[in-house]
Each structure stands twice: as structure tokens, then as C-alpha cells.
Structure 1
Amino acid sequence: MSDEMHARRMQKKKDVVDGRIARATEERGVLILLKGNGKGKSSSAFGTLARSLGHGQKGAVIQFIKGRRETGEYRFFREYPNLDWHIMGHGFTWETQNREQDIEAAQAAWAVAEGLLKDPAYQLIVFDEMSYMFKYGYLDPEPVVAALQQRPRHQSVIITGRTMAQPLQEIADTISVVQDERHAFRGGVKAQAGIEF
């Protein structure tokens, strides 16, 4: 490809992108759903959280399932100013084997989440692994949808988990699907600190 042809192609691309930027005039928080069976949903959410904190914004995290051990992300962020971190679960549901305890933990986590969604001080809130609460029937999605729709206009929320309740998908601004083509665990590689937790 000649330099001239490349320049024409890039100018066309720039015109398209500039047009989209010019049409995007609304300023408000967004609801982002990160779903799918691939690795990296929580990692993506925490990367966005780091970006938000880098801009001096106030954030919060609620981990709905994790709780067995301190994860690397918790160790990294726990002392960070402008960030509240809540570990509300008792571990993965297949490990706890206690449905009543899991429901109580989910409801306690949701009570904290409801308070955060009413507080205009927070610019970004991450509900990590929340989608399982709907899948297993621990939480009803309708009150969650209502609270998300009534949150402060500038507030963004990220929800992670493999599957996502349909009512959440209907109100989401952005939905990203993380696909699984291959995973080291299935190849016999043990979960390791810094990669899986």
C-alpha cells in the first residue's frame, strides 16, 4: 500500500470517528455488564476502577462471592484513598454448601449496595460476581434494576459474572462478553496468586 493510499484510508477513518464523537453529547454515568465464561471480567472491572481512581474519583467495590482469602486486587486497593471495599461472600457457592447462609450474605451485600447507589459521592461502583445472586435465586433482579435506574445521574456501575439476568441486560448501556477459547486450568495448571486471585 502506498503512503498516499494509507493517508486517504486513515483520513476516512478519522472522519467516521470524529463524526461519532461529535454525536455523543450526553453526559451521565453508565451501567456496564461484563459477562461470559472467559477469564478477565473482574480484571477488566478493576482496571476501569484504577482508571477512575487515577482521575481522583471516589469508588466502591462489593465482592458478592469472594471471601475465602484475600485476593491480589483487595491487597492492592485496600489502603487506597477514595475507595471503599466490601467483601461480603463466604466463598464460592459450591464450596459453602449452605444455601441459607449464601442467601443471607447476598441480602447483606445488597443492603450495602443499595446505600452506595443512593450516595452521590461515588462516581464508580463495582458489583463483582453479582450475577450469580440472580442465577441462584438469592436476589430478585427487579429491586436491583429499580435502584440502578434511580441512582445519581453521574454514577457508573459495573456488574460482573458469567451469566446476566435479562432485566439487567435490558437497561445496560454497555455489555461486553468475555469468551473462553482455552483455559490453563483445564490443561491441568493450578490456579495461582496474581493470575486467578
Structure 2
Amino acid sequence: MSERDSRHKASMQKLKQHVDDKIAAADEQRGLLLVFTGSGKGKTTAAWGTVTRALGYGYKTAVVQFIKGLWECGERNRLEADDNLEVAVMATGFTWDTQNREADTQACQAVWQEAERMLADRDTYLVVLDEITYMLKFGYLDIDVVKRALQNRPAEQTVIITGRNAHRELVAMADTVTEMQEVRHAFNNGLQARRGIDY
């Protein structure tokens, strides 16, 4: 064996030991709180990917879409026929289109009632609160109400929160926080969102 191959083998053995030790130390089993935030593209896409994964195992899954609910959504179109998926959509769509705080607040509160029911359901394995960060930022939802629902959810239930500028208290509560950073975005260079790629 060459010296380079020997060094590689030793390095991989060390890495394997490190990974094995981490796996052995991970002995707690419960639902998680995941936050997908940041200015980069892909937060909702990542959440739908996890929905697909959970549905693949036959788990009951729920998605609440706060901002983009009225926008076309390829993932929702493909998956909504699955009996294990429930989707609730905020009736007003993009808040910057409506420009009506009262109507947006009412729509948010109405769909939040659905979210609270899902978060209390012991049979729901995964709940996605898509773009809920905006609801907190604009004051349509109270952070304490959201935190209470998250804290009181069934122990086995995982929740994914998506959206830019995640509230610091949600970040502090989360088990996993992923910040998607924008390096370049096609839209900023005049390229339209593409069906089947961006939505």
C-alpha cells in the first residue's frame, strides 16, 4: 500500500470512529423542531422534501402555507392526493399583494386555528408551518401563542418552520436551524420563476 493510501485509510478510520461515537451518543428519541431560515432560496422546497420523506413511510403529515398558499405549488399538486397529507392554506396569498393588514390578520388567525389543531394531534407525525416567520414579523400572530403551541405538541411530533428572519425565540427553541444564504438569485438578474423548478 502506498504512503498516500495509508494516510487516506488512517484518516477514514479516524473519521469513522468519530461518526460511530456521535451515533452511540445520540440516544434520545423524540420529535424535533427544525427551522429553515435565511435569505437564500430553498426553504419551502426543503420542507416539502421532508414531507415527501415522511409520507414515503406512511406517516400522517400536515402543511400550513401562510404566504404562498394561493400560488401554484408543484409539490402540493403532486402530494395532495395522499390520504396521509393535510394542507391548510391562508386565504389571502402574498401579503404584499393584499396590502390590507386587517384582512391578512384575519386570514392568518383563521389558518392558525387549523395549525393549532394539527399541532395538538397525536397522530400527526410532521407539521410544516411554511412562511410563518412573516406572520410573526408583521404582528399577525403573537410569538407567545406560537411558542405555547409548539411546547405543548405531542412529544413524537416534528415541526418545520420556514421563512426569512426567524424569530430569535424560535431559533433558541429549535433542535436544528439551517440558514440558507443567498449567493446569487436568478430573479435579481431579471429571470422569471420557472414552473417545476421554483414552484
Q: TM-score, normalised by structure 2?
A: 0.96
8 A Cα contact 2:35 2:177, kept in partner: yes
Number of residue pairs matched? 197
Task: Work out whether residues 108 and 140 of structure 2, in 8 Å CA contact, stay in contact via their aligned partners in 1.
Answer: yes
1:147 alignment partner in structure 2? 149
2 CA distance for matches of 1:95 and 1:160? 20
CA shift for structure 1 position 194: 1.2
**CA distances 1:38-66 after superposition (whole Å, capped 9, x unpaired):** 00000000111111111111100000112
The equivalent residue for 2:97 is 95
* Cα distance in 2 for residues equivalent to 1:88 and 1:55: 27
- Structure 1 counterpart of 2:50: 48
Question: Secondary structure of 1:2's partner?
Answer: helix
How far 1:167 moved relative to its partner?
1.6
Runs of 4 or more consecutive aligned structure 1 residues displaced over 6 Å after TM superposition: none
Whether the 8 Å CA contact 2:70–2:90 is kept in 1: the answer is no
Percent sequence identity over aligned pairs: 49
Report the alpha carbon displacement of residue 87 of structure 1 after superposing the two structures with TM. Answer: 1.3
Return the offset for 1:3. 1.6
2:190 corresponds in structure 1 to 188
CA contact (8 A) 2:39 2:164 kept: yes
- C-alpha deviation, 1:68, in angstroms: 3.1
Helix, strand or coil for the counterpart of 2:177? Answer: strand
User: Of 167, 170, 173, which aligns to 2:172?
Assistant: 170
Question: Once structures 1 and 2 are overlaid, which stretch shifts more, 173-182 or 49-58?
Answer: 49-58
Letter aligned with residue 187 of structure 1: N
The 2-side partners of 1:68 and 1:41 are apart by: 18
Alignment of 1:1-197 (within 5 A): 2-197=4-199
* Cα distance, 1:130 vs structure 2: 0.6
Mapped partners of 1:5, 1:89: distance in 2: 59
| Deviation of the 1:91 alpha carbon | 1.6
Deviation, structure 1 residue 67: 3.2
- After superposing the two structures, state which structure 1 stretch, 87-96 or 159-168, moved more: 87-96
User: 1:107 is matched by which residue type in structure 2?
Assistant: Q
